[in-house]
Amino acid sequence: MVIRDRSLISTERTTMKSLIIILLSLTGLEDLKYPIKPGLTCEEHAAMWRETHVTYHESRTADPKLQGYYTPDGKLFVGYYFK
């Protein structure tokens, strides 16, 4: 998801308790729950998780339609939200 209106992005420090990561695997969508660390924005938490846990691939099995951020075990990073 691309947010074009930057005013929609929160720059306030988060009071939410969990970062929920959404991954797509062969069995469907999976939600992973991580605790929030104080002092970071929601976007900073998500970026830190993405930089640590997934790698960007321009294609998978030579199919450019399968580009995206993948975990080492082949799950596609779909998105995130906070709760």
Domain count, the chain: 1
pLDDT, tens only, 7-52: 545 555 546 688 999 999 999 999 999 988 888 888 899 999 999 9
1 inside domain: no
Q: Which residue has the higher pLDDT, 58 or 38?
A: 58
CB of 55 closer than 8 Å to CB of 69: yes
In a domain, 26, yes or no: yes
Question: Would residue 66 count as lying in a domain?
Answer: yes
- The answer to whether position 3 is within a domain reads no
Long-range contacts at 52-59 (CB < 8 A, ≥ 24 apart): 53/21, 53/77
Domain assignment present for residue 75? The answer is yes
Cα 29 versus chain centre, distance:
13
Confidence of residue 1 (pLDDT cuts 50, 70, 90): very low
Q: Does 68 fall in a domain?
A: yes
Predicted confidence at residue 16, as pLDDT, reads 67
Domain extent for 23: 16-82
Spatial CB neighbours of 6, under 8 Å, sequence gap ≥ 6: none
- Is 2 part of any domain? no
Whole-model pTM: value is 0.74
